[in-house]
Structures are given as C-alpha cells and as structure tokens.
Amino acid sequence: MDVFSAIVTLFLVMDPLGNVPLFLSVLKTVPPERRQRVLLRELGFAYVVLVAFLLMGNALLRFLGLEQEAVSIAGGIVLFLIALRMIFPDHGTLTDGAPEGEPFVVPLAIPLIAGPSTLATLLLLDRAVPSSTMTLLLVVTTAWAIGGVILLSSTFLYRVLGQRGLVAMERLMGMLLVMVAVQMLMNGISTFLHRQ
C-alpha cells in the first residue's frame, strides 16, 4: 500500500461525512459562537490520541510477533466489516448516552474521530505501508486535516447536501473501502501462499 492509498484508507475509516449529523447533534446545546472552538479543541485531542497510538503501534505488533501477511489479512477483514457498517448502518448512535452540555473528549474526539476502527487501522497501516514513522505521521496528519476541514464545515455541508446527500456520500465511501479491504485481503493471502 502506498502513501496516497494509506491516506485515503484512513480518511474513509474516519468517515467525517458520516459523522457530520452526529457532530451537529452533539453540538446543538453548545452556543453557536463556541462551536468552532469546541470543534478545534476536540480535533486537537483526537490528533494527540492518533499520534500516540501511531508511535506505540509498531512496538505492539512486534511484541505480539505478528507477520506482515497476518496483519494484511486481518486488516482486510476489519476494513471490510467497517465498510459494511458504513453501507448498512445500525440505528443506534454513539451519542445516545452522551452527557448534556459541552462535550469534552467524549464523544467527539473519542470515539467519533479517533475511535476503535481508526486506531485498529493505524496498527494495520504501520505494517502495510513500508516506510518511516515520519511518512506515517504525514498519512495521519493529512487524513486528520481533511476530516477536520469537513467537520469544521459541518453546518455548511448539512445545509448544502442535506441528510440524504450525506447518507449517499457515506455509502459511496463505504463502497470504496470495501474495494480497499478486498485488495488488502488478497495481497495478504497472495504473499502467504508465495512463502509456502
């Protein structure tokens, strides 16, 4: 997987377009003049979590003794399941039990931006992208920045695209992620079979 593919994959897993309605729902109790500042703060928290996980991810994989093929096959399966949830979402949301008032770390930074799916994908990318930590930091920063711009524009996007437009975009992103997942799975199986 090259750097561009890694950025696209991480961006698709973060699913900022699918999170727009959730962000708007959580922020509806926050005064309009504070919403941008709250969003920037939550994006900052999420970025710190993503970078920390990126820096520790490689050590975790080495500690567990995972081979490249296992990571690629597992990555394909995990991304496929994430993509299926994007295409066929459940009706519950992560914000159902959220506390009232201004959000702080939960649920915007974690789990909506830096959630389990995104962190698992970082672990997989750490093995799938044959490059340095600085390159992976570029991947994380780029995907996070693009997602951040979309989330900061959430009110505008919701007015322009509407609920149906956002749902359609999320389904399209899910379909793209299915293809990435299948390719990762095939690469892992192919590499494993050639080693035998």
Considering only CA atoms, give the Rg of the chain: 17
| pLDDT value of residue 91 | 56
Query: Model-level pTM?
Result: 0.77
| pLDDT value of residue 92 | 54
| pLDDT value of residue 103 | 80
| pLDDT value of residue 143 | 96
| pLDDT value of residue 102 | 80
| Residue 93 phi, psi (nearest 5) | -125, 160
| pLDDT value of residue 100 | 63
Domain ranges for the chain: 3-195
- pLDDT tens digit at each of 196 positions of the chain: 788 988 999 998 898 988 888 888 888 888 888 999 999 999 999 999 999 988 887 777 778 887 777 777 877 887 788 788 878 877 555 444 555 668 888 888 988 899 877 887 887 787 666 667 889 999 999 999 999 999 999 889 888 888 888 888 888 888 888 888 888 788 888 888 888 7
| pLDDT value of residue 177 | 82
